[in-house]
Chains A and B, each alone.
Chain A
Amino acid sequence: MSARERRLGALCATPITLFLALGFLVPLLVVAAFSTMPLKVFDLAHVPDFTAFAEVVRQGYWKSLAWSLGMAALSTLILFVICWPLAWAMVHVFTRFTLVITVLVVVTLIVSENIRLFGWSLTLMKGGMIEGMLRSWTGYGFDGLLYNVPVIVFGLVYVYFPFMLFPLVQGIAMVPGDARHAAADLGATPRQVLTEIELPLASPGIMVGGLLSFVLAAGAVAESKLLGGQAVIVISDDVETAFTYGQNWPLGAALAIVLIVVVGSLALYALARLDLDTVMGRGER
């Protein structure tokens, strides 16, 4: 750590640090300040009275929080199970196909999630691609597959697939081949190699993937609106309603703070345990 590097490092970090301080940290403080204001005010020039938080408890908003967190946890779990074999194969089995999959997945990432979810609603609705085709071929139709809780979880799994897949690939690539081979040579069953070697050594990738998909899914709103048709109300939906129809900024801010505290403490906990240089740079220099 030479004096030159110290100086250049601090200098290079300045622009984005200043920007994030003003565009990220300060706004969060504003939300926190707003959440303490009396209900239905639009500026911060009032005496804080915390009625918004009392309202959050009284109106039973914990239900939407529970739905959001529950569905996020479930979709994260499903994503892990779906992505692990593919990520493993991308590292150890596929050669050219790994690149093809990477490109294909990245391309969907840049298509607005609205459009992709809209595509699913066209696919799953009554008279949609699946039901309509089935009915015209077999004569039997069924009610659409939309507007229920499983389809929301499905939407979350679909949208956040890349956020689990790529960190897992990175994590699995960090497992030294020698460790796997040595374990196998010493008589470990494939199952033991998985549970004793690969899962623990790939854990940084698993943690990043799990955190990303959980956090993003917990704050998601489009899936429940476009696919779920408000079968359940999620927390972000409540926040949005409080700001738009409700015209109740302090209530919206208090709801947002609840979400931020849950999600933020998880993110901080995981980020604190993670050595980013190892995850991103693949090892120390």
Chain B
Amino acid sequence: MRAPRWMRALLGGYGVLLMLLLYLPLLAVFFASISKARYLSFPIRRYSGDWYGEALGSETVHVLLRTSLLVAAIVTVLSVVLGYFGALAFARYRWRYRTLFQKLVLLPIFFPQTVLGLALLMWFNAIGVLPSWQTAVIAHLVWIAPIATLIIAIRAYGFDPMLEDAARDLGCSDWQVQREVTLPLLAPGVVSAALFAFLLSWGNFPLSLFTTGADSTLPEWLYAKMVSGYSPLVPTVGMLSVAASMLLIALAAAVLALRPLFAHGSVARSGSNEPPRS
């Protein structure tokens, strides 16, 4: 039952239109970032890259970058560790409270993030912890670790438990099974979970808002500038932040594309569902 030609063309056009709309605002930010004028107005008369120089030279931006990077890096490592084991419990092993556990993991994702941030602020206050970038790491983790779990779980659903059993029958210890079979098979999921964790933390605003205390992340600073009036640095710094994310994605894509060149030996490492050779 193949869709008729006119229908395929119509749906294709619809898809293209939606994708264009999806990127339209980023185009506006891009044009704003290269406008020379201090007060933006379209059509743009004179273009200049000066604001980029100013943004890159600004001490404030450096501090923001450092904080955002630090938070995102720690969130990435911790959420991958939590998510890896979480995913095994979520998808791989049959155990008693599994369905309850699945719901607990999903619940934070279905939760308004602003409220989550406030709840954590009250909790930190109640136990006498002063908010700073460290508490923001906790806040990001509450939302991002479950997402990492889900991403790795999708991978864990797809793999055949017989592989682990076979390795065990051949005399592997629990630890060896993990290292030689489970981890290599889940590796692609782990990589995408890490990528997502980093990017979601890097771009997150609602969770940071209440939990960073005196520190500030890049999205927070941008928001503060946006609501307090136009500043030519906002589109520029925004564009730089987007460019950094895109660069990371491109890097990851390049690594994935080039991986077959480096992969040799273990079949499991290439992610196919065959048992590893010893």
B123 contacts A30, C-beta separation under 8 Å: yes
B126 contacts A239, C-beta separation under 8 Å: no
**A153 an interface residue at 8 Å Cβ cutoff?**
no
Q: How far is the CB of B132 from chain A (nearest CB, A)?
A: 16
Q: How far is the CB of B74 from chain A (nearest CB, A)?
A: 14
Task: Report the separation of the CA atoms of residues A45 and B83 in the bound assembly, to the nearest whole angstrom.
Answer: 37
Which of A53-61, A198-206, A220-228 lies at the binding interface? A220-228
Q: How far is the CB of A95 from chain B (nearest CB, A)?
A: 10
| Chain B residue at minimum C-beta to C-beta distance from A101 | B15
Instruction: Report A5-30 CB contacts with B as 1/0, cut-off 8 Å.
Output: 11111111111110110011011101
A226-B226 in contact given A112-B203, A114-B205 (Cβ < 8 Å): yes
B1 CB contact (under 8 Å) in A31, A101, A181: A181
A113 contacts across to B, CB distance below 8 A: 203, 205
Task: Report the separation of the CA atoms of residues A97 and B17 in the bound assembly, to the nearest whole angstrom.
Answer: 13
Q: How far is the CB of B93 from chain A (nearest CB, A)?
A: 3
Task: Report the separation of the CA atoms of residues A277 and B210 in the bound assembly, to the nearest whole angstrom.
Answer: 35
Which of B54-62, B141-149, B259-267, B270-278 lies at the binding interface? B141-149
A12-B88 in contact given A6-B95, A113-B205, A115-B238 (Cβ < 8 Å): yes
**B235 an interface residue at 8 Å Cβ cutoff?**
yes
A16 contacts across to B, CB distance below 8 A: 82-83, 85-86, 89, 105, 145-146, 149
B122 contacts A249, C-beta separation under 8 Å: yes
Q: How far is the CB of B51 from chain A (nearest CB, A)?
A: 14
A19 contacts across to B, CB distance below 8 A: 82, 141-142, 145
What is the total of A-B residue contacts with beta carbons within 8 Å? 299
A142 contacts across to B, CB distance below 8 A: none
B101 contacts across to A, CB distance below 8 A: 13, 17
A23 contacts B142, C-beta separation under 8 Å: yes
Q: How far is the CB of A59 from chain B (nearest CB, A)?
A: 19
**B49 an interface residue at 8 Å Cβ cutoff?**
no
A31 contacts B93, C-beta separation under 8 Å: no
Instruction: Report A144-180 CB contacts with B as 1/0, cut-off 8 Å.
Output: 0000000000000010010000000000000001001
Main secondary structure of the interface of A (DSSP, over half): helix
Task: Report the separation of the CA atoms of residues A263 and B227 in the bound assembly, to the nearest whole angstrom.
Answer: 27
Q: Which bracket fits the contact residues of A?
A: 35 or more
| Chain A residue at minimum C-beta to C-beta distance from B84 | A12
**A38 an interface residue at 8 Å Cβ cutoff?**
no
Q: How far is the CB of A125 from chain B (nearest CB, A)?
A: 9
Q: Which bracket fits the contact residues of B?
A: 35 or more
A280 contacts B91, C-beta separation under 8 Å: yes
B43 contacts across to A, CB distance below 8 A: 132-133, 136
A118-B40 in contact given A236-B112, A239-B118 (Cβ < 8 Å): no
A161 contacts B95, C-beta separation under 8 Å: no
Q: How far is the CB of A102 from chain B (nearest CB, A)?
A: 11
A232 contacts across to B, CB distance below 8 A: none
**B98 an interface residue at 8 Å Cβ cutoff?**
yes
Task: Report the separation of the CA atoms of residues A184 and B92 in the bound assembly, to the nearest whole angstrom.
Answer: 38
B204 CB contact (under 8 Å) in A20, A43, A112, A252: A112
| Chain B residue at minimum C-beta to C-beta distance from A89 | B11
| Chain B residue at minimum C-beta to C-beta distance from A23 | B142
Task: Report the separation of the CA atoms of residues A15 and B101 in the bound assembly, to the nearest whole angstrom.
Answer: 12
A114 CB contact (under 8 Å) in B141, B145, B226: B226
A161 contacts across to B, CB distance below 8 A: 22
B119 contacts A30, C-beta separation under 8 Å: yes
A267 contacts B115, C-beta separation under 8 Å: no
**A254 an interface residue at 8 Å Cβ cutoff?**
no
A101 contacts across to B, CB distance below 8 A: 15, 19
Task: Report the separation of the CA atoms of residues A30 and B146 in the bound assembly, to the nearest whole angstrom.
Answer: 21
A211 contacts across to B, CB distance below 8 A: 110
Q: A9-B92, A19-B82, A271-B107 are in contact. List 11 more A-B contacts (CB 8 A).
A: A20-B108, A26-B123, A43-B126, A89-B12, A111-B26, A112-B204, A112-B238, A119-B25, A240-B114, A280-B91, A281-B157
* A-B interface, 8 closest residue pairs, ranked by CB to CB distance from nearest: A219-B112, A119-B25, A9-B95, A132-B42, A9-B93, A13-B89, A281-B157, A110-B199
